[in-house]
Structure 1
Amino acid sequence: MRIYVRIAYYIKPYSLAIASALVCTILASAVNLYLPKIIGDVIDEVLATKDVAALNLIAVTVIALIVLQGISMYGQTYLMAYSSQKIIIDIRRDLYQHLQKLSMLFFEKRPIGTIMSYITNDVAALQTALVNNVIDFVNHSVTLVGSVILLLYIDWKLSLLMFISFPLILYTINVSGHKMRIKSRTLQERAADITAFLQETISAVGVIKSFSRESYELERFDFENKRNFQAHMKIVQVMAVITPIINILSTIGITAIIWFGGHEVINGNLTSGALISFLVYVINLPAPVKRLSNVYADIQRALAAAQRIFEVLDIEPEVKDSGGAKELPPVDGYVAFNNVSFEYNPGKPVLANISFEARPGELMAIVGPSGAGKTTVVNLIPRFYNPEDGSICIDGININTVTLQSLRGQIGIVPQETILFGGTIYQNILYGNLEASQAEVIAAAKMANAHNFIMEMPEAYETSIGERGAQLSGGQRQRIAIARAVLKNPRILILDEATSALDTESELLVQQALDRLMTGRTSFVIAHRLSTVQRANLIIVMEKGRIVERGDHEALVKAGGLYSKLYRIQFSQ
C-alpha cells in the first residue's frame, strides 16, 4: 500500500485528465456491454414479429453507439498517454534530482549501469503499467462487473452456475500475482546487470581490443544474457500456467450454463433470445478475467520497478546542508584541517588525525605513495565526503555549517582524468560560469593555453568534441578543463595529478596554464612527479593515511626521510 500511495502522489496533479480518460473508458466498455442485449432483443422481438421499423431503429442505434465508442476510445488513449507521460517525467526528474544530491560514496559503491537502469528500465516498466494497464484494468473491470450484473438480471439461476468456478479463478490470479512480483524484481535486477556490463565494456573497448579479449567478454555477456533469460522464463512459466487454468475453469462454467440453459428454454422458462444474450455475455466473460490476470501480473512487475525507484529516493544523502546552514561569504582561502579522520568503510580508517594549515595565496603540495590518502584529503575540502572526526575550516568557518553550493562555488578542481561533456568546446568552457560572456570565455581559453589550438579546429569554439571529449588529445582536454576552472575564478584550487598522463610538450603547456591559474589562489597540488611541487610553500608527505613529514622542498630533501627517498628515486630515473 505504501507504494500505491507514493504513486498516487505523482498521479494527483493529473487526476482530472485521468478521471476524464476513465469516463471515456467506461463509456467505451458500456457500448460493448449493451450490444449482446440488442442481439437478444432482435431474436425475441424483431425477428419473431417481423417488425422492420424496430429493425431499422436498432441498426441506427448500433451505428450511433459505435461512433460514440470510437470517440471515447480516442479520448481514453490520448488522455491516459498524456497523463502517464507527465507522471513519468515527474518521477524521472525527481529521481535524477535525488541522484544529484547523493554523496560520492553512493556512486562509488554501485556500477554506473545499475544507476542508469533505475532511470531507464525501471521507469519504463512503470510507464507501461500507467498507460496500458490502467486503461485495461478499468475497461475489463467494467466489462466484468457489468456482465455479471446483466447475467443476474437475465437469469439468476444460470448465474449461480457461473459463480461456482469464479472464486477458484480469483484465487489463481492472486497466487500468481504474488509470484510475479517477486520474480519481476529479479528480472529488473538482471536487466540492470546487463546495462552495467554494457556501460563498463563499451567504455573500455580499447583495453578489450589491446588484450584481444573479445571472446572472453562475449562469454561474460552470454552469461549475463543467460541469467536475464532464466529470470524472464520464470515469469513466463507463471503466465503459462495461469492462462490454461483460467480457461479450464471458465469452460466448465460455460458448459454447465449451456446444459442447464438449454433445459430452461425447452421447458419454456427462458426465451431463446435471453439464452443467446446470456451465452454471449458468458463467452465474453473469460476475456476480461484473463486480461485482468495479465494486468495484475503487469502491475506486479511495475510495483517491483517502483519499489526499486522508491528505495533510491529514500536514500538519505550522507553529505547535505545541515539545519540552519548559511551562505559562505567570499573567502580569502585560509584552509585548516584540525585532527581530521575519515573512513570509507567502518573500521577501516583511510585518514588518521590529519592537521595542517594552508594560507591564502599559498601553494601546498601533497605527496606520497599510492594509497596514502592524498586524493581523499582534497576531496574533503569541497565536502564530497564528511570526516568521521575533526573539523575543516575555511577562513575560520567550519565547512559543515555552510551550504554546499556556496562552499563548492568557491573551489575549483582540475582532476587527473579530465571529464568533458558532449557538445561544443564553447559549452564546455562556459560550464565554469554559465553567465560568462563570450569575451570572458575566450580570455579563459587564452589563459589556459587553449585558444590557439581551438582556433585551428574546424568550427573553432563551436566544434563538437564528441562524448567525453573523445575528439581531443589528452593535453587539449586538460587545457579545456583548466579554462573551465579559470572561468569559475575560484579562491581555492585543487589539482589532482593534473599533468601525470601528458607527454612532455603537453605537460609544459598545461603547466604554464596551471601556473597562471594558481597565481593569487590557495592551491592544493597532488603530484607523483616531485619536479612539479618543488616551489610549493608547504609540502606534506603522507603514508598510510598519516602525515609523516612536512616542510618545503629543500628542508625535506635534507631531512633524509620518505620525501628524500622518493625524490632520489625520481632524480636517478
Structure 2
Amino acid sequence: MAFSLFFVALQAVIALAIPLLFGKGIIDYVLLEAREPRLLALVAIGAVGLIALKGLVVYAQTYSMNFVGQRLVTDLRARVYDHLLKLPLDFYARRRSGELISRMTNDMAAVQQAVTMSIGEVVHYSLVLIGVLVAIFWLHWQLALISLVVLPLAALAVSRYGSRIRAFSARMHERIGDMAAVVGETIGAIRVVKAFTMEGLSRSRFQEANERSFAVSMKSVQAQATLKPVVELILVTGMVVVLWAGGREVLVGRLSVGELMSFLAYLGMLSQPVSALTHHFALVQQAAAAGERIGRLLQEQTEPQASAALQTLPRITGRVEFQNVSFAYEPGTPVLEDVSFTVEPGETVALVGPSGAGKSTLVNLIARFYDPDAGSVRVDGYDLKSVDPRSLRRQIGLVPQDPVLFGVSIAENIAVSRPDAKMEEIRQAAELAYAHDFITRLPAGYDTVAGERGASLSGGQRQRIAIARAILADPRILILDEATSALDSESEVAIHAALQRIRQGRTVILIAHRASTVMMADRIIVLDRGRVVQQGTHQELSQRPGLYRRLYHELLGGLEAGA
C-alpha cells in the first residue's frame, strides 16, 4: 500500500508542476523575457518528457493500487465465506439465501470498487487540491480568497447529497437482496413452478421486486446526477469571477501574464479534484453502507469452534442419550418437551410420528446443529455442549430426505465425506448403496458431473449416492431421514439389504414413514407434539392401543398397500 501511495503522491507532484512550467517558465521567462528559441525547444522537450513520466507513474499507481485493492477484497471475500461456513443452522433459518448471496456479490463489488479505485483517487486528488491551494495563495493571495468563497458552497452540496446517496444505496442493496432471493427460490423450485404453472406468479413476484430495486436505484442515481453538476456550476461561476478580477490585476501591472495563466490553470485544476472527490465520495458512501452490512454479517455468532474449552470427541461406540431435553426454534413455541431416551451402541432405532412431531429436530440435536434449551444430549457420556462439533460430525453419517449433490463428478460427490478416499473405496461404498450399476451406465461413469444440486439424476439415484457418501465416511452413528422415501420398490429392497449389512456395529437412527423401513428397527420411538409417547418393538406397539398402531394402519400400512 505504501508503494502504491508513493506513486499516487508522485503523480500529484507532476500534475502540480505542469502549470508553473507553462505559465512562469515558458510564457514569462522563455517567451517574454529570454526570447531564446533553443531554450524554448529544451523546455518543450522537457514538457513532453514530464508528460511521459506522468504516464508511467499513472500506470504504476493504477496497477499497484488495484493489486492491493483486489488482494484485500479477495481476502475479505474468503473471510466472509469462511464465516458463513461456521454460522449455525439457526442463522440460515432466519435469513434468505438471496440476501446472503447479495452480501457476497453486490456488497463485495461496492467495496471492491471503493478500494481499487476510490482510495487511490481520493488520496491523489486530495494532494492535488492541497497543492493547488498552496500554489494559488503563493501566486496571488487576494485572487485565491475570491476563489475560495465558492468552496463552502460546494462542501454544503456534497454534505447534503452525500447523506442521501448513502441512504439510497443501503436501500438499493436491500432491494437487490430481495430480488436475488426471489430468483434463488424460483430456480431452486423450478420443477414445482412448472408443475403448478406458477410462471405467471413467479414472474409477477420477480417483476415487483425488480421494479422496487429500479425505483430505489433511480433515486440514488438522481442524487448522484444532481450532485456533480451543482458542484461544477458553483466552481465555474467562481472561476469566471476570478478571470475578471485577474485580468484587471494584469492591466495595472500587479500580476504577470504567465502568473495569471498559471493561476487560471490551477483554478481549472481545482474543479477536477473537487468533482472527482465528490464522485468518489458517493462511491465511498455506497461502499461504507455495503461494508456495514458485511461487518454485521461477520459479527454474527458462529458455532462453537475447536478450542481448549471444548473436548475433541475420541472414537465413539455410538451410545446416544437424551436427558429431559426441551427445545424451541422460537421462544414460547416448544418443538421438543422433556424428551428422554437412550440408544445403545449398535442398536437401530426408528423415530415415528406425525408431521411436526419433532423427529428431524431430534436428529439435528444429535449432530449438534442446535443445542437444547434445557436438558442434555450425550454421546458416549459426553455432553455435546462441551464437545467440538466437528469431532462429533466426523463420526456421524447423515442421509437427508432431500439429498444435495454438488456440481462436481459423482465420485467427488461420494468422496465429500472422505476427500482422501481412494477410487476403489468409493466404488465399494457405491456398491453397498446399490448405486454402482446405474453410475457405470452414465456417459462418463464416476466422472459424470452431477449438475447443480444433482439435477441430472433422479430422486432415487441422488438418494443412493447420498447413502454411498454416508457409508464411505464409516460413521459410528448413521442417521437416515426418510432415506428410502424416493426409491421405487426394487431399489428399496436393495437399500434395505445394504442397510442390514452396514448397520452392523453402528448405531442407526431412522426417520421413516414406510412400514418396511420401520420394521428394520430393533426399537421404535413414537413422538407426538414434541414428546415421547411410546417405545417398543414393532410387534409390541402394533398390538398395543396408541398412536403407533393408528399410524401403522392409517399411514404406514396405507403407504405399503399403495406401493
TM-score (norm 2): 0.96
Aligned to 1:431, the other structure's residue is in SS state helix
Moved more, 175-184 or 228-237: 175-184
- 1:39 has 2:22 as partner: yes
* Residue equivalent to 1:79: 64
CA contact 1:429–1:441 (8 Å) conserved in 2: yes
* Residue equivalent to 1:391: 376
Aligned to 1:341, the other structure's residue is in SS state strand
- 1:310 has 2:295 as partner: yes
For 1:391, give the aligned amino acid. Answer: S
* Cα displacement string for residues 470-517 of structure 1 (whole angstroms, at most 9, x for unaligned residues): 222222211111111111000111000111122222322333333322
**Within 5 Å, which residues of 2 pair with 1:195-274?**
195-274=180-259
CA contact 2:434–2:495 (8 Å) conserved in 1: yes
* Residue equivalent to 1:548: 533
Task: Extract unaligned runs of 5+ from structure 1.
Answer: 1-17
- 1:28 has 2:11 as partner: yes
1:189 to 174, 181, 188: 174
Return the alpha-carbon distance in structure 1 between the equivalents of residues 395 and 520 of structure 2. 24
Return the alpha-carbon distance in structure 1 between the equivalents of residues 322 and 426 of structure 2. 34
- CA drift of 1:179 comes to 2.1
* Cα displacement string for residues 108-158 of structure 1 (whole angstroms, at most 9, x for unaligned residues): 111111111111111111000001111211221122111111111111110
* Residue equivalent to 1:123: 108
Moved more, 89-98 or 234-243: 234-243
* Cα displacement string for residues 2-36 of structure 1 (whole angstroms, at most 9, x for unaligned residues): xxxxxxxxxxxxxxxx2111211222222222222
**Within 5 Å, which residues of 2 pair with 1:165-184?**
165-184=150-169
* Residue equivalent to 1:375: 360
* Residue equivalent to 1:10: none
- 1:410 has 2:395 as partner: yes
CA contact 1:118–1:308 (8 Å) conserved in 2: yes
**Within 5 Å, which residues of 2 pair with 1:158-169?**
158-169=143-154
Return the alpha-carbon distance in structure 2 between the equivalents of residues 208 and 452 of structure 1. 32
- CA drift of 1:527 comes to 0.6
- 1:91 has 2:67 as partner: no
CA contact 1:144–1:289 (8 Å) conserved in 2: yes
Aligned to 1:549, the other structure's residue is in SS state strand
- CA drift of 1:318 comes to 5.3
Moved more, 245-254 or 368-377: 245-254
Aligned to 1:145, the other structure's residue is in SS state helix
* Residue equivalent to 1:522: 507
For 2:17, give the aligned amino acid. Answer: Y
For 1:146, give the aligned amino acid. Answer: G
- 1:497 has 2:482 as partner: yes
Moved more, 414-423 or 235-244: 235-244
For 2:309, give the aligned amino acid. Answer: G
* Cα displacement string for residues 421-451 of structure 1 (whole angstroms, at most 9, x for unaligned residues): 1111111111121122222111111111112
CA contact 1:322–1:400 (8 Å) conserved in 2: no
- CA drift of 1:327 comes to 1.1
- CA drift of 1:247 comes to 2.1
Aligned to 2:194, the other structure's residue is in SS state helix
Return the alpha-carbon distance in structure 1 between the equivalents of residues 231 and 71 of structure 2. 36
Return the alpha-carbon distance in structure 2 between the equivalents of residues 100 and 330 of structure 1. 25
* Residue equivalent to 1:363: 348
For 1:42, give the aligned amino acid. Answer: I
- CA drift of 1:241 comes to 2.5
* Residue equivalent to 1:9: none
* Residue equivalent to 2:280: 295
- CA drift of 1:376 comes to 0.3
* Cα displacement string for residues 376-419 of structure 1 (whole angstroms, at most 9, x for unaligned residues): 00110010000000011111121212211111111110111011
CA contact 1:497–1:528 (8 Å) conserved in 2: yes
Return the alpha-carbon distance in structure 2 between the equivalents of residues 436 and 254 of structure 1. 74
Task: Extract unaligned runs of 5+ from structure 2.
Answer: none
- 1:137 has 2:122 as partner: yes
1:60 to 34, 45, 62: 45
**Within 5 Å, which residues of 2 pair with 1:322-361?**
324-361=309-346
- CA drift of 1:565 comes to 0.6
Moved more, 121-130 or 454-463: 454-463
Moved more, 309-318 or 487-496: 309-318
Return the alpha-carbon distance in structure 2 between the equivalents of residues 475 and 554 of structure 1. 29
For 2:29, give the aligned amino acid. Answer: E
Return the alpha-carbon distance in structure 2 between the equivalents of residues 34 and 467 of structure 1. 58
* Residue equivalent to 2:427: 442
- CA drift of 1:284 comes to 2.4
* Residue equivalent to 2:494: 509
- CA drift of 1:174 comes to 2.1
1:468 to 453, 466, 480: 453
Aligned to 2:417, the other structure's residue is in SS state coil
* Cα displacement string for residues 291-340 of structure 1 (whole angstroms, at most 9, x for unaligned residues): 10111110010010010001010011255557611111111111110000
Return the alpha-carbon distance in structure 1 between the equivalents of residues 478 and 391 of structure 2. 15
CA contact 1:322–1:401 (8 Å) conserved in 2: no
TM-score (norm 1): 0.94
CA contact 2:463–2:486 (8 Å) conserved in 1: no
* Residue equivalent to 1:12: none
- 1:275 has 2:260 as partner: yes
* Cα displacement string for residues 146-204 of structure 1 (whole angstroms, at most 9, x for unaligned residues): 11111111111100101111112112212222222222111111111111111111222
Return the alpha-carbon distance in structure 2 between the equivalents of residues 192 and 222 of structure 1. 14
* Residue equivalent to 1:15: none
* Residue equivalent to 2:2: 19
* Residue equivalent to 2:97: 112
Return the alpha-carbon distance in structure 1 between the equivalents of residues 199 and 421 of structure 2. 46
For 2:84, give the aligned amino acid. Answer: L
- CA drift of 1:535 comes to 3.4
RMSD after superposition:
1.5
Return the alpha-carbon distance in structure 2 between the equivalents of residues 155 and 241 of structure 1. 33
Moved more, 537-546 or 252-261: 252-261
* Residue equivalent to 1:13: none
CA contact 1:25–1:76 (8 Å) conserved in 2: yes
Return the alpha-carbon distance in structure 1 between the equivalents of residues 16 and 215 of structure 2. 41
* Cα displacement string for residues 50-100 of structure 1 (whole angstroms, at most 9, x for unaligned residues): 211221121121122122112111111111111111111111111111111
Return the alpha-carbon distance in structure 1 between the equivalents of residues 97 and 499 of structure 2. 31
Question: What percent of counterpart residues are identical?
Answer: 43
